[in-house]
Amino acid sequence: MRCTNCGSEIPEGQLYCKRCGKEVRIVPDYNPLDDVLAAQVKGGIDGGDRPLDDYDYEKSYTSDLRRGEGQRAERRRRDETRTMRGTSAAGGRTSRTSGTGRVSRSTGTGRVSRNTGNGGKRGGTSRMTGTVDPERRRKMAEKKREKKKKLRRRIILGFIILIAAVAAAVFFLYRNSYAGQIGQGNRAFSEGNYDQAAGYFNNAIGKAPKRGEAYTALAKVYLAKDDQDSAEQMFLDALESYPDEVPIYEACIAFYIDTEQPQEVSVILEDAPDDVRSELSKYVSEGPSFSLDDSEVFDDVQQLSLESDGEAIYYTTDGSEPDTSSQKYTDPIQIEEGTTTVSAISVNEAGIPSLPVTKEYTVEFPVEDAPAVTPSTGQYEQPTQIVIQVPDGYTAYYTMDKSDPTEASTKYTGPIDMPEGNTIFKAVLVNGKGRLTGVTTRNYELVLN
């Protein structure tokens, strides 16, 4: 064989080149491609679609390369040791026996032989081979794949556990949140557990007292228990505590509409802040306007007109409070003589009636002057009758005890005999509306002979 360094001929059995001193490389260079080719050939014979995947190829290549380098280094170390032992023996011979085999080396001839217990035959695994058993490579690849699968399963399991933990935390937070309390309350309410539902809704109000959903839900519980007064009081207390919160007003308005009390909507909005009334303008119903000034006293029958921005006006003239069942306004209202109280409401497009607007009107017809009474004041010596002139539409009343006459006094029905002696006679007229005229007074003295 020739030296791979300088090309000189090296005798058989010589461990180094005498010309350049380079050691003889008995084992050929390890080439990992041999393993790869062997694995591919085996995969082809086995019928696999993919004898060796890319990932295993790269890892195997690198691993085998490093293993081959390690094997060559170990062989060089052993060869150097043998060389040193052979040269120090000066032509001697070293023999080593292990088991039934025998190993002998001779530095004179440069031959190396081994017995492995089979009668000196060369067998087993040759030191010159540089390949790895394909079956072992397959098992190693399977182990790597199994490790990857286990790692993948662990990652997935960890991810599932993480998701479960996050879901549990979110669920816990939700159950204790405002929405969670309302949700649990609604479920309890649907199952007929009213007290339990009320507890959840009260918890929700405690968490967010300025929101309206919990008030509406709790009102349904009160109504289910036939306790409408408690539901209404709950809303009124909430409005008193939070007079600027529109959501509470909206919840209260919905309650009044559901319980057919639309007139109460105007009551709660009457004193609401301007910004609240502005946001809830569709529920605000302004009262109607009156065409007559109630501070004036009229001397004749009047026509009262009512106007409104709403869809309808309802009114009463007997002093009672109007509602949608009262007289609907279509034509001007006749204001007769005397005092008339007109009360009216306006209903807007949302069906919300306004607060009643009430006015009192007075019509007084001009009355006659004090009644004419004959005879006039004087002294009389013969029997005489007293006569009162009564115009149409009036009734006369009189007294003879010096008191002023009223409708409770003696009614005049015809001439009156003048009493003997001194008499103070007073007379008054009363019209159909109970208005009295001035009083006429006469002083009579009747002395009969």
Cα separation, 326 vs 39, whole angstroms: 103
pLDDT score recorded for residue 27: 54
Query: Do the beta carbons of residue 444 and residue 386 sit within 8 Å?
Result: yes
Task: Return the domain boundaries, the chain.
Answer: 178-283, 289-363, 373-446
Q: How far is CA 100 from the centre of its chain?
A: 91
pLDDT score recorded for residue 67: 61
- 442 Cβ contact partners less than 8 Å away, ≥ 6 residues apart: 373, 375, 376, 377, 386, 424, 425, 426, 427
pLDDT score recorded for residue 68: 59
Maximal C-alpha separation, the chain: 209
pLDDT score recorded for residue 113: 38
Q: What pTM was estimated for this model as a whole?
A: 0.52
Residue 439 CB-density burial (10 A; 0-12 exposed, 13-18 middle, 19+ buried) = middle
For residue 232, give the nearest of 254, 210, 213, 200 by alpha carbon.
254
Cα separation, 242 vs 210, whole angstroms: 7
Report how far apart, in Å, the C-alpha atoms of 56 and of each of 52, 63, 148 are. 6, 10, 12
Query: Do the beta carbons of residue 293 and residue 274 sit within 8 Å?
Result: no
* Segments of the chain with pLDDT less than 70: 1, 24-132
**Structure tokens, 83:** 């060389």
Query: Do the beta carbons of residue 374 and residue 386 sit within 8 Å?
Result: yes
pLDDT score recorded for residue 119: 40
pLDDT, tens only, 155-198: 999 889 989 888 888 877 777 899 999 999 999 999 999 999 99
At 225, phi and psi to the nearest 5? -95, 10
pLDDT score recorded for residue 15: 73
For residue 298, give the nearest of 367, 366, 362 by alpha carbon.
362
| Mode of pairing for the β-strands spanning 357-363 and 312-316 | unpaired
Q: Give me the architecture of the 178-283 domain, per CATH.
A: Alpha Horseshoe (1.25)
Cα separation, 296 vs 361, whole angstroms: 8
The CATH classification number of 373-446 equals 2.60.40.10
Cα separation, 419 vs 367, whole angstroms: 30
